Amino acid sequence: MKIAIYPGSFDPVTNGHIDIIFRASAMVDKLIIGVLSNVKKQPLLTVEERIALLEATTHKYLKNVEVEAFSGLLVDFAAKKNASIIVRGLRAMSDFEYELQMAQTNRNLNKNIETIFLATNVHYSFLSSSVVKEIAMFGGDINSLVPPVVEEYLKTKFM
């Protein structure tokens, strides 16, 4: 059984993440979305809120996707879940240096786990969770950037 982890902070999940989740889930038997609970950045949403939004946007459509919080090393979480693949999205060249370093570090820590990169949909290459939060905070339109449930939830946060 091929199990992959798609890790991130997802504060909040955006359409860019959703695109990667749909495509990655079609490539494996099980995709576990790993939600980092000890985020270095100051998160807007709690880990429970981030998980709930991910579940609301994926569970109905994708039967082989699970969402789970993790802390500590990603490779340890992957090993605990019997995952042999880490999935990351690449938005632009600017992501590459950091992602390469992370992939090489993780490979150094555990040789049984491979990182694969999916090219982000070109429509979302500018997108990040911070961009979404900033637009929402100033009352801008995030309709095309996040799933409807996320849009509604962020409205309640910034009201």
Residues 83-122 that bind ligand COA (CB under 6 A): 89, 91, 102, 105-106, 120
Helices and strands, counts by H and E, the chain: 6, 5
Between residues 28 and 70, which has the closer beta carbon with respect to ligand COA? 70
Q: Is the peptide bond before 147 cis (omega within 30 degrees of 0)?
A: no
Tell me the C-alpha distance between 97 and 82, whole Å.
27
Stretch that binds ligand COA, among 13-21, 25-33, 45-53, 58-66 (CB under 6 A): 13-21
Q: Nearest to ligand COA by Cβ — which residue?
A: 16
Tell me the C-alpha distance between 110 and 90, whole Å.
22
Tokens 């555990």 identify what position? 110
Question: For binding to ligand COA (CB under 6 A), which residues are involved?
Answer: 7-9, 11, 14, 16-17, 20, 36, 73-74, 89, 91, 102, 105-106, 120, 124, 127-130
Q: Show which residues are catalytic.
A: 17, 41, 91, 129
